[in-house]
């Protein structure tokens, strides 16, 4: 129930929802002064959340710094799902967040970790039985990793379940902490907190950094649908972090 409710409530905290609500209110009200104020606020909000400068500035503060420890070996990397999508025919494929998978398998290949745990089931409200772990299992076989080095959880639907189910697998495999936590940079702050509260000692290994430019350009201040989409990701993470922090 909580899983479904969280998906529904997410819609109401997204910037475009508020912009649409303000414009709709402005359209319906007969008070001209209020109409003008509503339209002005909606325009300011839309511009703020649709330019690359504001989201880049926020991301530089929010994203967890890249991993810099060298010559340290860990018993396992914990790879969080979210990098697999499906096309209209239901066929799975690596999406824009696939850097998580690439970096995690590199850790195993180079010996930085001795095991790899993948946690990710289904995230749809109405699942059809497909689990992200099934696709990942097939892809890992192509890399010829020994089955004994791979741990798979196909039930987790969110980050909290990622942590809880991972702990069970790691304990049953007698793998000692700390573990390397592999996820996207924008997701790492909340994920690290959730794993900490679950009693799992992790070292963050952020990947899939969405902002690498260090210089400003004119187009950074122009409205962009891409910037608006990235704000959606970060707002979800921000409110999710607050929920976990105060729970």
Q: pLDDT of 32-82, one tens digit each?
A: 999 999 999 999 999 999 999 999 999 999 999 888 887 899 999 999 999
- State the pLDDT at residue 123: 62
pLDDT tens sequence across 98-129: 999 999 999 999 999 999 999 998 766 546 67
User: Mean pLDDT throughout 154-180?
Assistant: 96
CB of 100 closer than 8 Å to CB of 182: yes
Contact 157, 4 (CB under 8 A): no
Weakest mean pLDDT among 4-8, 10-14, 162-166, 185-189: 4-8
pTM as predicted: 0.90
Which of these, 40, 82, 43, lies nearest to 233 by C-alpha position? 82
| Length of the chain, in residues | 247
Percent of the chain residues topping a pLDDT of 90: 78
Q: Is CATH 1.10.357.10 correct for 77-207?
A: no
Give the mean model confidence (pLDDT) for residues 13-30.
Answer: 94
Output the pLDDT for position 219: 86
How many whole angstroms separate alpha carbon 62 and alpha carbon 48? 17
> What are the φ and ψ backbone dihedral angles of 217, each rounded to 5 degrees?
-130, 160
Domain layout of the chain by residue ranges: 13-63+222-245, 77-207
What pLDDT is recorded for position 215?
73
Which alpha helices (DSSP H) does the chain contain, by range? 2-10, 15-28, 32-48, 52-62, 99-110, 132-142, 159-172, 185-197, 225-245
């Amino acid at each position: 129930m909580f899983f479904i409710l969280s998906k529904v409530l997410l819609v109401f905290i997204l910037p475009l929802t508020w912009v649409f609500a303000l414009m709709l209110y402005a359209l319906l009200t007969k008070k001209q002064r209020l109409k003008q104020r509503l339209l002005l606020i909606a325009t300011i909000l839309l511009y703020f959340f649709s330019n690359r400068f504001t989201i880049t500035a926020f991301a530089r503060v929010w994203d967890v710094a890249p991993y810099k420890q060298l010559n340290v070996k860990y018993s396992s990397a914990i790879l969080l799902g979210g990098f697999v999508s499906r096309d209209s025919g239901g066929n799975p494929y690596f999406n824009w967040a696939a850097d998580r998978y690439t970096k995690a398998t590199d850790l195993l290949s180079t010996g930085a970790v001795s095991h790899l745990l993948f946690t990710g089931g289904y995230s749809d409200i109405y699942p059809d039985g497909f689990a992200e772990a099934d696709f990942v299992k097939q892809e890992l076989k192509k890399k010829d990793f020994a089955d004994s080095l791979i741990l798979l959880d196909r039930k987790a639907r969110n980050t909290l379940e990622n942590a809880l189910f991972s702990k069970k697998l790691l304990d049953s495999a007698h793998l000692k902490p700390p573990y390397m936590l592999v996820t996207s940079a924008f997701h790492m702050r909340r994920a690290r907190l959730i794993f900490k509260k679950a009693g799992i000692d992790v070292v963050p290994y952020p990947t899939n950094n969405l902002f690498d430019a260090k210089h400003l350009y004119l187009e950074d201040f122009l409205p962009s649908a891409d910037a608006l989409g990235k704000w959606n990701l970060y707002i979800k993470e921000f409110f999710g972090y607050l929920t976990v922090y105060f729970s």
